[in-house]
Structure formats: structure tokens, C-alpha cells
Amino acid sequence: MKKISGKLLLIFSLALLSAGGIVWACGGGDWDDGEYSNFTPEAFVDHQYSPFFYTSWQAYYGTDINDNSNTRYNEQVVKEWGDYLDHKVNSKDLAALLFTASPGEVDSSYRYFKGQMQLLPAYIPDLKSTSLPKAKVDAFFSYLTLAKQCESFAISDVQYSWDVKTTVVNPAPQLKTNLMIAFDHSNDQFIKQRLWFQLIRYSYFEELPALNTDSSAGPDHSGLVTLFNKYESAFPKNSIYYRALGYLAGHYYKRKDYAQANYIYSLCYNYSSAMKIPSKWSFHPQNEKDWKQSLLLAKNKEEQITLWQMLGIVHDESRAIEKIYSLNPQSDKLDLLLSRLINKAERPGDRYEIDSINSIKINANDLALVERIATNGNTHKPYFWNLAAGYLNTLNKNYIASGKFYNQAKKQLPENDRLVEAQYRLLDWTLYLARLTKIDAKAEKEMVSRLNWLADLRDKKDTIANLRYDRALTESILGLAGRYKKQGDVVKSNCFESTTGFYANNENIKALQALLTKRNKTPFEQAMLRYYHLTMKELYYHQALMLVYQENTDAAIPLLQLADDRALIDLPANPFNSRINDCHDCDFNAFQKKKYTALSFVTTIRDIKAEIAAGKNLYTNNLLLGNAYYNITHYGNARAFYQNNITGYSATSPMDIAVEFRDRFTSAKIAEKYYLIARNSAQTKEQKAKCTFMAAKCERNDLYNASYKKQAKDKKYYWDFDFSTIPVGQYFAELKNKFFQTAYYKEVLKECGYFRSYNK
């Protein structure tokens, strides 16, 4: 994970543009917490706290957060300057001058305004035509010129732990003098406060190298503290004030006066949404002693509550909830901590295993705390606490208690709040599903609207922003499939969770097809089939596929015709061709005079068999059938023939093929049979040699299959065994002993390394 430099952790306040670098990135990554969550914090917690919604893998929640400290306050800064300049400068030009223009470009814009330049480059904002008073523009540019000079020491890119450390630029002494002169001579409160901020920031960076001293070393005579205390009451408590206050906090932190620093950071945190991330990032109580000292500095209950919320975000939600509740049960700062407690509680032990969701154990003290507060009913969102208590009880399998809390929450839900209503509906559904032990006609009727609603959410037919429903969707699918399977209804079970084994039995497929084609489906059947992913065409194709491997081409062809476009996809290579060494890419790239689809491939097999039955071209036709049945095995060039949404599309090893179809798609027995028939019909030794070698390939592939199975049984990976140890079988021996004088033998010897090793 990225490690931010210590300097940037402590200094969150920004200059006119900003000081510091990027804090921990938000968003991205390979894990979505919503996948294991049924509880949506956005439904209950004010958006200003959204960076601190719980996530299991990133520092801050969400992707809409401005996580760059160099730009965090830009929008606010533009607004403030826009107000000052009477909104006579458009925001785009103002932002360009404030944030991107170089000192030279700022100078050019100012000189052009004063009439000292005749032409201004098009990319430099023009303030001459704004009709602003000269005095106000002079004040703006005079300040901006000084502020730009501060960037050299105040603006810094993030430093990660693996980076080469960059050289820290020390503030120029003359700049401080110029800032002080400008501050003393300014009568404009808006400008004067910003100059004060620049002086505070300058003082921080000026004393930074010497600040690593313990506060117990002696009195604090810092110029920064003196400057802050002398003038703080002269200015309004606005964003500039709190950004200056942040540097004061950083000063105390570096002096190891953690109590004072953390208290001040809490004031900044509470001021605005924009200041929450950097304030929380810098907030680090070291131990219970300095934490209690921070609490003693709080001037009222609200300040104590803020401190407790900040502590609870990282260290202990339950303790913080207890303390805040005792101070003010109506505090909205409880909401964030409760959402974090819930989202942590529902996290599975292994986030990649759905089964681990069902083995969650809820902390008894957390449950008792939430139940007590929910029962008291004196928070500002009692429905939130009742839903939370109900959900924790659901996770803890206390379904009766869960139902009671949900019933109470239902009476308290706010009107016309779709997200909260959807959250209740989702939690109530998960409770219903958890209690469901047997599915009968009554239960099916009760589930119709809920299943349709979840399917609508999944299919984006109903959109409720931020609602977390993925876990409920997964639980619904697996839960209902499991219950139907337990009840012996494999068809309905498969509609919710389609399993490969189901399709190994044609009677199962027929029963499913009957359901799919049923004219008067019940409302439940219609809802259930929204969770089923295969079409009738795909089922027809699969049935045809199984018949081809049973050599029943006559029955397969009508089904392929019903499969329509699925059976009309071109195979990547000519399935009737063969070569000594299998090379799929070679076959794919070879010129194909005729392209075969699954349908034309099977009809060609039928036609070849008809010729064989008529006694025509027995050698050639049987050899072609051998090639065809070889190529539709895992080892051939026409794997695409059997790959589909049921059997799978990717298998680098025979062991990657579903066990229900593994033997069928890896065995070359049918191909071997036709190669041997072709050999019996061969007229020359060359032909017999070729058939013998092709039979040897079939035999060797079956030996591979046996070895793979043994490896799996021995719990070894398929790549961990020595291919050279596999017995070569009878056909290598026959090729060597009977056909060593043929040209084909010599060709095999040249191309086949296995045979060459055997022949030594």
C-alpha cells in the first residue's frame, strides 16, 4: 500500500492553491464492498461523512472524493475570489490565474491590464475588459504575485516510501519581509486575511526543520503561534481561518503536543466537508493519556462528540457510540459510526467465499449496545437503529428478534425516501429467506414480487442509487437453489443456480424445456425464469452435442437445426484434416477451401457414414471419420464444437473440463475405432502406417487422460508429472515393427519427438 510522507500527513492546510500532496487514493481496485454487504450507509448517513463509510481495502470510500490536496479547496477558492471581484471575471479565467498560470503569465496579465503591454497571448486571461475598479484589480494581482512565490516551498507532490526523496525548498527570507509589508499596509480585510494565512504558512515551513522537539522541552515561543494568536480574532471564522488553524495543529503535532494538535484537528474536521479528509488523516491520538487531555480541551458537548466520532472511525466504533449517545442521543454523528459497525460486522472472514458469509459471528457487546439504543427509541433516526438491530440479529440467526426490530422500523420509515424504503425491503427479504425452510405454493406466491424486484435491480429496470443488493441477490439465488435441491426439485433448483451436472442427464433437460415452453406459466415460474440464463437454442445445441458423441448423427441434426445460429458458427479449422503433430494454430491459419459449421460438420459425418454403408471409399471415409472424431476431442482442432455456456469455453488441461463431460470430450476411442477400420480397408503400407500412427495418437491421449486423473487423485498439479514416463502403448510398437520401411514412418520419426525417443 502507498505510504505518504510524514510531512504531508501533518500539513493538510492549503495555500491559495494548496499545500501538500495527494492523500491516499480513493476508488479503483479489484474488490467492491457492496458484494458482501446488504447495508447501505448512504441511506442513513449525511453525505459529508461519505469518505469515512467503511471499506475493507481502501482508506476512503467512494470515487467522487477530491483526494488531491493540491486541488481540494480550488472550488471554494474560486468562489471566494469570484465574490470579491463582484463576479466580473468568469470562473474559468479566474481558476487559470489562481491555479495554473505561471508567475510570468500572471505578470503579463497584470501589465496588460495596466496598459503596459499592447498584445496578450490568447491563453492568458484578460481582465482589462471586466470593468473592475483599478484598486481591486491592483490588490488582486499584488496578492497573487506574492502567493505564487509561496508555491516553491508550499506545493509538493506526494512522496511514497519507495521514491527518491525530493529536496525541500526553504522559504526565502525576503519573501517573509514582503508578505509582512503587504500585510501591514493592507486595509482590505479579504486580502489581509489571506496575507495572514500566507504568513502563518510561511512560519510553519520556516520552523519545520526545528519542530521535531518534545513539547516538554520548554515553552513554545513559536512565531507561528504568536502570529496566529495576535490576529485570529480580527478575521471571520471562514475557510481561510480554519486552513490557518490546520497549520497551527501541525505545529503542535510536530512538537509532540498531541492533545492540542488533535483537538485543533477536530475543530477543522467539524468546519466543512472539504476539511474532513485532511483533518481525519492528521488526527492521531497516541495513547489514552493524550486522548483524555484532548477531551478536556473541548469547550462543549458538541466538540467532545466530534472528537469521539473521529476516534471511533478508526479505533472503536462501539466505545465512541456509547460516549456520544450519553452526551446527545440525537447527534447525527452517531449515524456514521453505526453504519461502520454494521458494515464491519457483515464482512465475511474470507471475502472471496460466499459460504463464509453464512458463518459470521456478531460481537455480543456490539449487538447488545445497538439493541439497547434501538429499544430506547430516542435517536434522531430511530428507524435506522431498529433496522441495524434487526440486521445484526439476522446475521446472528436470531430471527424472531430480527423480525420484531424490523416491524418497529417499518412504522418509523420516512415518507417518500426510496433508498430507505428499498433498504428496509431488502433486509426484510433476507430475513424471510433465512427463515424459509420449505418452499410450497404459498411461499412461491409470496416470493413473486420480491424476486421480480431483485431481478429488476439486477437488470437496471429499477435503479435506486447506492443501494447494495448484490449480496442479497447472491443469497437469494444460492438459498432458493439449495432449498429446491433439498426438496428434490432439481429443475427449479437449476433455474436459480445452473449446475453442469444437471445437463449430463437428458431427462433433466427435457423437463426444463417443458417448463421453458409452458404456455400458462405461473407468476412464480415467470419470476423464477428471470434467473435462468440459457435459451432453448442453447439447450437444443447441447442435446445435439451429446448425441454426436454417441454417434447418433441422425437425431442430432434436427436439434442442430433448432439451435439455429448457434449451430451456424464457423469452426476455426477443418475438422476432417489431420497432421502428425497437433498444431491448432497451424490448422486455424491454414487455407480452408470449405468452412464448416457445427451443422455442416455433422451433416457431412452423416453423408460419409451413408457412403460407408454403401461400401464406397472405405479407407478414405473411415480415415475422415477418425479425423472428425479426433478433432472434436480436447486434443483436436475443433474444440469449439463442444464449447458452450454449459460445458465451458476455456480448458488448458483435461482437468479443467467439467467432470461430467471430461471423459466424453477427452476420450479418443471413437476416433481410434475409425482409424483401425480405415487401416483394415487400406490398400498400401503407407496408408496402413498412417492409420497406425493416428491410432497411436488416440492411444497416447487416453494415456495422458489416465495420468491426469492420477495426478488429481494424488492432489498434484497436471504440469507436475513427466510425460516421458507415460507408457507408449501398442501402436507405437506396431508402427516400429511393421512399417519401418515406409516413407510415412520416416516422416513420423522426423516430426514426432515422442516416437523418436521411443525408437532409440
- Which domain, by its residues, includes 671? 552-758
pLDDT digits 0-9 by tens, 407-448: 999 999 999 999 999 999 999 999 999 999 999 999 999 999
Q: 375 burial class (0-12, 13-18, 19+ CB within 10 angstroms)? A: middle
pLDDT at 13 over 80: no
Q: Buried b vs exposed e over 559-590: b needs ≥16 C-beta within 10 Å? A: bbebbeebbeeebbbbbbbbebeeeeeebeee
pLDDT at 353 over 60: no
Do residues 580 and 706 both lie within one domain? yes
Q: Is residue 504 part of a domain?
A: yes
Final residue of a structural domain among 484, 504, 533 = 533
Do residues 516 and 636 both lie within one domain? no
Do residues 752 and 627 both lie within one domain? yes
Do residues 556 and 457 both lie within one domain? no
Q: What is the pLDDT of residue 79?
A: 96
The helix-helix angle for 364-376 and 399-412 (nearest 10°) equals 30
Do residues 567 and 655 both lie within one domain? yes
Do residues 583 and 528 both lie within one domain? no
Q: Is residue 34 part of a domain?
A: no
Q: Is residue 625 part of a domain?
A: yes
Q: Is residue 610 part of a domain?
A: yes
Do residues 461 and 597 both lie within one domain? no
Do residues 528 and 559 both lie within one domain? no
Q: Is residue 408 part of a domain?
A: no
pLDDT digits 0-9 by tens, 178-188: 999 999 999 99
Structural domain count of the chain: 2
Final residue of a structural domain among 471, 500, 533 = 533
Q: Is residue 191 part of a domain?
A: no
Do residues 518 and 583 both lie within one domain? no
Distances (CA, A) of 592 to 382, 425, 572, 574, 589: 72, 59, 10, 7, 9
Q: Is 494 helix (H, G, I), strand (E, B) or coil?
A: helix
pTM score, whole prediction: 0.84
pLDDT digits 0-9 by tens, 85-126: 999 999 999 999 999 999 999 999 999 999 898 888 888 998
Q: Is residue 699 part of a domain?
A: yes
pLDDT at 350 over 50: no
Q: Is residue 440 part of a domain?
A: yes
Nine-digit cell at 188?
482590505
Do residues 636 and 746 both lie within one domain? yes
pLDDT digits 0-9 by tens, 631-663: 999 999 999 999 999 999 887 788 889 999 999
Do residues 596 and 731 both lie within one domain? yes
Do residues 599 and 651 both lie within one domain? yes
Q: 284 burial class (0-12, 13-18, 19+ CB within 10 angstroms)? A: middle
